[in-house]
Amino acid sequence: MRLTMDQRNMIARRAAKEIVPGMAVNLGIGIPELVADFIPNEWHVMFHSVNGILGVGPTPIQGEEDQHISNAGGAPVTIVPGASYFDSTVAYGMIRRRKLDVAFIGALQVNRRGDLANWIVPGTRVHGIGGGAELAFYAKKVIVLMSHVTLSGEPKIRRECTFPLTAKGCVDLIVTERAVIEVTPEGLMLTEVMYPYSLQDVIYHTGAPLLISEHLQMVE
């Protein structure tokens, strides 16, 4: 199922709640890029881009883009006060030194242990591993933002990933248009169900066993 822009924004808005002021945050390509729009400026969150920016700001007003300020996806951005530019080895140095508090990342599949697959669909189009493996492995908290099911309706949250893994046991939280699911040592814990989906719908479209949180919220 292809997500609507509204659904993508809803995922991003929910994801933004995981951020607290002062954090350093990496936004992957796709839905993660939208998260920045839901973070107040005065929180002084420093957005990190692997091409070499710490302190990415909002999308520029049309006509005022600087062709040489862009995020890793190539989209024009701005910078905030305190931002710096550096080469990609420094960008990844920050990642490996575990300076990033949260990485929001897209996914093809996540399994019940928090393994992440997001770099290749065998036999079809090849993207390449990109920076996903390092972000997923080293960020203090990894939050997957994705559609709950594939275009053909298959669950993306599965008992086991069928695609090659990007990183093992790295995912802490999954946010989709239908649900928020925590990866816990006991397994996947459903904590929120998004309107208009039902608990039954989420369970039905999830390919792995779900623990239901005693604080389960039905989000309007």
Partner 1 sequence: MYGGFGTIGSPALLIDALLQKGVRDLTLIGIDAGYPDVGIGKLISHGRVKKLLTTHIGSNPEAGQQMMDGRLAVTFCPQGIFAEKIRAGGVGIPGILVDARMWGEATDGREAVLFEGKPCWMEPALTADVGIVYAKQADTYGNLIYDKSARNLNPLVAMAAEITIAEVEEIVPAGELDPEKIVTPGIFVDYMVNRSGGNS
> Could you list the residues that contact partner 1 (CB under 8 A)?
24, 46, 49-55, 66-74, 79-99, 116, 119-120, 125-134, 136-138, 164-168
User: Among residues 170 and 180, whose Cβ is nearest to partner 1?
Assistant: 170
The single residue listed with the structure tokens 């609507």 is 4
Q: Considering the complex, what minimum distance in angstroms separates the CB of residue 205 from partner 1?
A: 26
Cα–Cα distance for residue pair 104/45, rounded to 1 Å: 14
Q: Considering the complex, what minimum distance in angstroms separates the CB of residue 37 from partner 1?
A: 20
Q: Considering the complex, what minimum distance in angstroms separates the CB of residue 167 from partner 1?
A: 5
User: Among residues 38 and 163, whose Cβ is nearest to partner 1?
Assistant: 163
User: Among residues 171 and 179, whose Cβ is nearest to partner 1?
Assistant: 171
Cα–Cα distance for residue pair 166/164, rounded to 1 Å: 7
Cα–Cα distance for residue pair 31/116, rounded to 1 Å: 16
| Beta-carbon count within 10 A of 181 CB | 29
User: Among residues 89 and 152, whose Cβ is nearest to partner 1?
Assistant: 89
Q: Considering the complex, what minimum distance in angstroms separates the CB of residue 60 from partner 1?
A: 12
- In the chain, count of helices (H) and strands (E)? 4, 13
User: Among residues 118 and 192, whose Cβ is nearest to partner 1?
Assistant: 118
Dihedral, 28, 30, 34, 35 alpha carbons, nearest 10: -40
Q: Is 41 helix (H, G, I), strand (E, B) or coil?
A: helix
Cα–Cα distance for residue pair 203/214, rounded to 1 Å: 16
Q: Considering the complex, what minimum distance in angstroms separates the CB of residue 220 from partner 1?
A: 36
